[in-house]
Amino acid sequence: MAMMTGEQYVESMRKMDLQVYMFGKKVENPVDHPILRPSLNSVKATYDLAQEPEYEDLMTARSVFTGEKVNRFLHIHQSTEDLMKKVKMQRLLGQQTAACFQRCVGMDAFNAVYSTTYEIDEKYGTRYHENFKKYAAYCEEHDFTVDGAMTDPKGDRGLAPHAQEDPDMYLRVVERRPDGIVVRGAKAHQTGAINSQEMIVMPTVAMGPDDKDYAVSFAVPTDAEGIIMIIGRQSCDTRKLEESQIDVGNSQFGGVEALVIFNDVFVPNERIFLDGETEFAGMLVERFAGYHRQSYGGCKVGVGDVLIGAAAVAADYNGCARASHIKDKLIEMIHLNETLYGCGIACSAEGHKTASGNYIIDLLLANVCKQNVTRFPYEIARLAEDIAGGIVVTAPSEADLRDPVIGPYVEKYLKAAKDVTVENRLRILRLIENLCLGTAAVGYRTESLHGAGSPQAQRIMISRQGNLPRKKELAKRIAKVEE
């Protein structure tokens, strides 16, 4: 099957029998629900741009299985150039959507599972790698969007999976059959799950021998029997029900997260990629986390480009663009954003081949990249709010602007720079609000902190990868220290 167009993707999602709940009610038509549709549009953009000749080099690649052209989100990285193109693609999509486009987790899961299953098979003679290669080729053939599911609810963070009071706090195998396994549990914060046809599940922490039932990785359709998705609330989400394009800020694109419940879901043997080999759970987590921390050097930078642009337009509209402190703040925003991008490119350029043949990033630099992402977007957002002014959170609604009685007052008293309409000023202010505080903030500000692991997770990896003993030896050699 050829790569799908955006419209074909949308129609494919209509055929899914997803069990989606929001605000205490089942959503019968997630595709067209006004709160959820912008998130689907963001994924649709990954299909639309792949059809554009201008973006073909970034958005597509050649399949390692068939040699056919495939969407890069389904690609197994074959070089450091592939790794860098991934980051550039993510920046492009961030620029195009100013939102989370939701396919990065699946792409990162693809590459982490690919290399890890190869090494499990080498040690144990299992067939996980063959299982995964067939599954990946199947997803390529159908041009599916694949969600990656790693984060468990975790329960008491001080206890291992097997030691939890409620054993379902980490997803686990509850039954093994000749033809497959049955799993129970949940995966939290699942970005784009409702917009995916498939889901790859992975463990969320390194595990010991007693956690054997929790060391499991597999793939299932997102509408498999027993899967329920509960949509998470976002700030300002119900504005999308008000039919106000201005007040939403970004009316076309968005992101969405869900708590995904696995109520005794059956997984056939050919879709299992890890089952009980506990010592490889940590490897899979570490590799996936590394890939996903690289991703943030692209996607968040693209959204940052839009926010910087919006702040610059707000300065124009406010009539203060020539002020030296405004110029300096915009320079600082650009500096921070490009630093993030530089980290994303650096960890890609310094990548290397795994035993399986695909390429992985430099893990130290990937964790440095994500550590910076936990900080810099917050400062970029703060500076954007500073430049925009307090009006970004006190502006009247579009209904007020349109009202025949009070609208003229809004027009009169929200007027700023000459020849700038109040409507255009409000549109830019609402975009800034959306990116810094509203629904897009989930995929920009807050996700920058917690996505791909919270800050301490990166610091632990930086400690492990930083090779401090080697640095000590360098200093001793230069100082001619003899011990």
Residues serving a catalytic function are 100, 104, 191, 257, 292, 296, 299, 447
Cα(260)–Cα(411) distance, integer angstroms: 46
The answer to whether the beta carbons of residues 13 and 195 sit under 8 Å apart is yes
Of the CA atoms within 13 Å of residue 476, those in its CB half-sphere come to 9
Task: Give the number of other Cβ atoms within 10 Å of residue 243's Cβ.
Answer: 12
Q: Bridge partners of 69?
A: 62
Q: Note whether 310 and 386 are within 8 A (CB).
A: no
Give residues with Cβ within 8 angstroms of 40, minimum separation 6. 10, 13, 30, 31, 195
Q: Do residues 143 and 69 lie in contact, with contact meaning Cβ atoms separated by under 8 Å?
A: no
Check if the beta carbon of residue 102 is closer than 8 Å to that of residue 42: yes
Token pair 């995966």 is found at 187
Helix-helix angle 37-48:6-14, to 10 degrees: 140
Instruction: Please give the Cα distance from 260 to 326 (Å, whole number).
Output: 44
CB of 434 closer than 8 Å to CB of 441: yes
Calpha distance 104→96 (Å, rounded):
15
